[in-house]
Amino acid sequence: MRIARLPGGKSRREKRRERERAQARRLGLLERAEAEEATRIKPARRKGPAAPPPVDLPLSDLLSRRRTSSMPLPSQERLIATNIRLRHHVDIILGTDLWAEEIEVRHSLIEDIDEQGRLYLAQTAPPILRSQVGQLVELTFLSRYFDVPGGRWLRVGYATPIREVIPDYRVSQHLTEPVIVVDGPKKLVPVSVRTAFRVVPPDDLDLRLVIWPEGTPLGLMDISMGGAQVYHDLGWYFSKGRRLPLMLISGELKLMLTGKVVRTDKVRDRLGWERRVTSFQFVEMDPKTKHKLSQLLTEVYRHVLAQRSGIAPRE
C-alpha cells in the first residue's frame, strides 16, 4: 500500500496564525500585550521551605464556622430588629458582572428611619446620583446571632428601588448630610452573592500582611478585594471602626492599604490556646492600588486552582 506524501511547508493553520500575529503587530496590539505581560503582577514564591505558622489554626473551624446554611433563619422580627437600626452598616449592591466575577458594592450606614419605615442611608463613595433614582438595588446586612453555641454570622438583605437622593438632609439639629432614601424591608432573606472572592494564602507563596510602619506581622487567614481576616495574640484588641495602616507584601511588591476594623472574634487553635481574630475592610483605596491588588489576588487564585486540579505541582 502506498501512502501519499504530505506536502511540505507550513500548514494553513500556521500560516493563518502568522498573518494574525503580523496584523496584531501592525496595530500595536502584540507589543501592548507583551508589555502588559512583562508588567503583570504575580505573587512571589516563598524562598526555602515553608515556615511553620505561628498558630496552628484549624482551617475548617475558623471563627467557629459551622455549616449553618441548612439551619433555619431567626424570626423576621429578630432579623429586622438586629439589622434595621440606626448607624448599622449596609452594603448597597448596584449591579453584578458575572462574567468578570465582579460586583459593584457601595458601603453605607443607616442615618435615619421615618414613620413610614423608609431608610435614610449615608451617601456612598462614589456617590449615588439623582439620575439613579428608580434603579433597583439590593441592600445586604451582616450581623451575628447567638442562637447557636459560639454564635453565627448571617448576611441577609432585600431588593428595593432608590426613592430619592437628598443632598442636605438634616440628621440632627446642627448637622445636615447627603442621604439616599429607600423603602424599608418587608422581609429579609439570605443573600448568597459574595461581594468579593476570598483566597487563603497557600504555603508555597509569599503573602504577608503587616501593620505599618512598625512592620508588626499579622497572621493572614484569608484576603479579598474587600478586606482581610487575620489572627494575632489574645492581648491585642482593635476597637470596631478603628483604621490601621497596613502593608501587603509579596516578594518585592508592597501595597499600602487602610484597614477598617469591622468585627473581632476568638478562635481556639489545635493546641487549645485562644487567639483573637480581627476582620478588616479595605477603605480609601486609590485606583492604582486597587488594580494591583486585583491582579495579585487573581494570580493567587489561579495558582490555588492549578494546584487543586493537579496542573501545578505542590512544592
pLDDT above 80 (res 165):
yes
For residues 107 and 49, which has the higher predicted lDDT (pLDDT)? 107
pLDDT above 80 (res 92):
yes
> Rounded to the nearest 5°, which phi and psi values hold at 210?
-130, 155
Q: What is the rounded CA–CA span in Å between residue 156 and residue 189?
A: 5
For residues 307 and 274, which has the higher predicted lDDT (pLDDT)? 274
Q: What is the rounded CA–CA span in Å between residue 302 and residue 305?
A: 5
Q: How confident is the model at residue 6 (pLDDT cuts 50, 70, 90)?
A: very low
Q: How confident is the model at residue 33 (pLDDT cuts 50, 70, 90)?
A: very low
Q: How confident is the model at residue 267 (pLDDT cuts 50, 70, 90)?
A: confident
Cα separation values, 103 from 33, 68, 238, Å: 26, 25, 29
Q: Which residues neighbour 166 within 8 Å (Cβ) at sequence distance 6 or greater? A: 120, 178, 179, 180, 181
pLDDT digits (tens, 9 = 90+) for 97-146: 433 445 677 889 999 999 999 999 999 888 999 999 999 999 999 888 88
For domain 67-190, give the fold: Pnp Oxidase; Chain A (2.30.110)
pLDDT of residue 12: 67
pLDDT digits (tens, 9 = 90+) for 221-260: 888 888 899 988 888 888 888 999 999 998 889 999 999 9
pLDDT of residue 59: 45
Q: Where do runs of H (alpha helix) occur along 9-146?
A: 12-27, 29-38, 76-83
pLDDT digits (tens, 9 = 90+) for 286-296: 888 888 888 88
Q: Mean pLDDT, to the nearest integer, of 41-56?
A: 63
pLDDT of residue 24: 57
Q: In the structure grid, which three cell numbers stand for residue 222, read together?
A: 484569608
Element (H, E) at 257: strand 253-268
pLDDT above 80 (res 151):
no
For residues 14 and 212, which has the higher predicted lDDT (pLDDT)? 212
pLDDT of residue 311: 54
pLDDT digits (tens, 9 = 90+) for 185-206: 999 999 865 556 678 888 888 8
Q: In the structure grid, which three cell numbers stand for residue 31, read together?
A: 507589543
Handedness of CA 276, 281, 283, 287 (dihedral sign): positive
pLDDT above 80 (res 85):
yes
Residue with cell 432614601: 181
pLDDT above 80 (res 211):
yes
The domain limits of the chain are: 67-190, 197-309
Q: Which residues neighbour 20 within 8 Å (Cβ) at sequence distance 6 or greater? A: none
Handedness of CA 24, 102, 211, 304 (dihedral sign): negative
The superfamily (CATH) of domain 197-309 is: predicted glycosyltransferase like domains (2.40.10.220)
Q: Say if residue 247 is exposed, middle or buried (CB neighbours under 10 Å; 0-12, 13-18, 19+).
A: middle
pLDDT of residue 201: 84
